[in-house]
Amino acid sequence: MGKIIWSPSASEDLDLIALDISWDSVYSGELFITKVIRQIEKFQDFPDTGRVIPEIPDKSCRELIYGNYRIMYRIIV
């Protein structure tokens, strides 16, 4: 099982997106965070789930599109 380490900017971005969504509905903002974190937790067991990022020629850099958002991550062995 792998370990997920959030960069400070990724954590801040998630908070800002949730805050933006919360302007319309606090529940929706909280639900969004819960769903994103569940998606990201899957990377612990299945790190190759995401596709290789097309504009970065490094197969360890991957992405997952979730709704209107792009979740980018790097696999470090």
* pLDDT tens per residue across span 30-73: 999 999 999 999 999 999 999 999 999 999 999 999 989 999 99
What domain range is 38 assigned to?
8-74
Q: Give pTM, 2 decimals.
A: 0.83
Q: How far apart are alpha carbons 55 and 74 in whole angstroms?
A: 14
SS3 of residue 13 by DSSP: helix
Whether residue 37 lies inside any domain: the answer is yes
User: Residue 77 pLDDT > 90, yes or no?
Assistant: no
Give how many domains the chain has, as a whole number. Answer: 1
Whether residue 2 lies inside any domain: the answer is no
Q: Which phi and psi (to 5°) does residue 61 adopt? A: -95, 120
